[in-house]
Structure 1
């Protein structure tokens, strides 16, 4: 029996808002950006699973990092992915303020 694999994405990025028209805090920007990116990643992954496409090349990454686990898990050279294979997506957004406070980082 083939083992089930679950993947965890840890993503760090820098956001540099050019213009902000609403009264919004840096924390709110971080939360909104993280939520939107996670939604996009999960949506793209789901569509790939529906079409039997490994859009994030998880099979290749697993093969490079752990060939023995890849051999144990693959079916005819294909890594079976399910909608639940993408277990967790962690997004860490660092906002760089622009304008008057340009290049001042806020975590």
Structure 2
């Protein structure tokens, strides 16, 4: 009976660890491949198209993904894109506090990535 209880406890512990590890892995890998590639291509255009920059840019998006969930990254990218359009209707994206917070969070993640990767 003790062996059965011990085996059950080990199984529960292993399952909890696996679920925890899986959720962390899922959280760190919620960026679609195309979004990661877009970021790396844009980063390389800005910083130089060398193998070293490929590694640094890939590190950068990985670091951003570990800090900022993809949904928030996408929202911040949308705000920045809408700010470029201009016009009265788009002024919301330039002045709304929610939009400012989204962009600030992304900028902080980018700054962290720059410190770690560049």
Regarding TM over 0.5, the answer is: no
Larger RCO (CA under 8 A, 6+ residues apart): 1
TM-score (norm 2): 0.27
TM-score by length of 1: 0.29
